[in-house]
Amino acid sequence: MTTDNTTRIKPQLTLLTGACGLVGSRTLAHLHAKGFNVVATDITPPKEGSLPPGVPFIQADLTKPEDVNKLFEGTAFDAVVHISAIAWLPAGKVLDARTWHANNVVGSYNMLRTAAERGVRNIVQASSMNAQGVSYTIPGRNTFDGFPMSEDTTRRPMDPYGLSKHEAEIQADSVAFLCPWTRIATLRYHFVTEDYESAWPAVTARDVFSWVSYDACARAAECALTAPVTAFTGHEIFHIVAPEIAWEGGVEEGERRKEGEERGKRPDTVELLERYWPGIEIDRAYWAENPRRAVWTTDKAERVLGWRHDG
C-alpha cells in the first residue's frame, strides 16, 4: 500500500523512552518541533537545559514494572516511541552479556505490553540491523541469505544487543496479536551518525558499508506515528538506512581514503560485497541504476510510511 499524505494522522500525545540518548534526544526535539505533545522518560535525568521547553520528564527504569506503570498513571497516551536500550558500550567499559541482553528485552516487553494493554493504538520501537546479525557478530561467522537484504532476511544474531533486538521484534509480533487495536512499527536503524562526512571515515566492512543520519531516524519515527490508519495494521518492520553506502578509497581496508585526503576512487557496492562477502548470491540488477546503492532495501518504509532518508 502507498501512503497518501493527505490522510496522515495528526500529532499526538506521545510518550518517548530513551529521551536522553543520542537518537532519543534528536527524536524528541524533532517531534516537539512538529507539534507533538511529548512526555520524555529515561533511566537517568537529562542535563539541565537539554529538553525542549515545556517537555515534562519522568525518570523511570523500564525493567521495573512499577516504574512503567507510573508512566501511564493519569495519562492516556495516544502513542509511544520506545527507543530506550543499551546499544553500545564506551571504550573500556565491560558489561556482562547476560545483563546487557536482559536489560533490553525486559524493558522492551514491559513497555510494549503495558502500552498496548493501556489502550495505546500507535507504537513505534527502535530496532537495529544488528537483529539480522551484523556489526557485533564474531568476525568471519556472520552470513546472509543474499544481497540486497529486505526486512524478511533471516535473522542470525550472536551478540547480546542484536539478539535483544531480534527478540523485541518477536515481542512486537506477540503484543500485536494480543492487542489487535494496537499497531507497532519497528524501525531498524544502523550505524547512526550525523551525516555522510562523519560516516565514511568510521563505517567498516563489518557494518556492510552502511549508515543512517540522526535526522532521518527522527523523521522515520514521525512518519511511523503519522502514517494513515490504513497504511498498515499489526506489527511491521521497516529498514531505515541511507540510500547509498559510505566508503571512500580502495576496496581494501588499508587502501581507504584518510580524512584530509582528496577524494579519489569510490568503489561500487558490488565490488565491496564480492571482496568481503564472497560466495553470497548478489542480485546485480538491483545495482544497475545506482552502483553505490545500499545493501538494505528501504522500499517498504518509503512506500508505506512515506519516509525518505533525505527528507
Q: How many domains does the chain have?
A: 1
Cell 581507504 identifies what position?
256
**pLDDT value at position 1?**
46
87 occurs within a structural domain = yes
**Could you give the angle at the alpha carbon of 133 between the alpha carbons of 127 and 135, nearest 5°?**
85
For residue 184, what is its C-alpha cell?
507497532
Report residues of the chain scoring pLDDT below 70.
Answer: 1-6
Instruction: Find the CATH number of the domain harbouring 230.
Output: 3.40.50.720
Name, in order, each residue with C-beta under 8 angstroms of 22's C-beta and a sequence gap of 6 or more. Answer: 192, 214
283 occurs within a structural domain = no
260 occurs within a structural domain = no
Domain that holds residue 178: 5-245+295-305
290 occurs within a structural domain = no
127 occurs within a structural domain = yes
**What's the pTM?**
0.95
Report which of 39, 48, 49 is spatially closest to residue 14, judged by C-alpha positions: 39
37 occurs within a structural domain = yes
SS (H, E, C) the chain: CCCCHHHCCCCCEEEEECCCCHHHHHHHHHHHHCCCEEEEEECCCCCCCCCCCCCCEEECCCCCHHHHHHHHCCCCCCEEEECCCCCCCCCCCCCCHHHHHHHHHHHHHHHHHHHHHCCCCEEEEEEEHHHHCCCCCCCCCCCCCCECECCCCCCCCCCHHHHHHHHHHHHHHHHHHHCCCCEEEEEEECCEECCHHHHCCCCCHHHCCCCEEHHHHHHHHHHHHHCCCCCCCCEEEEECCCCECCCCECCCHHHECCCCCCCCCCCCHHHHHHHHCCCCCECHHHHCCCCCECCECCHHHHHHHCCCCCC
**pLDDT value at position 88?**
76
Rg of the Cα trace of the chain? 19
259 occurs within a structural domain = no
268 occurs within a structural domain = no
CA distance 33 to 98: 38
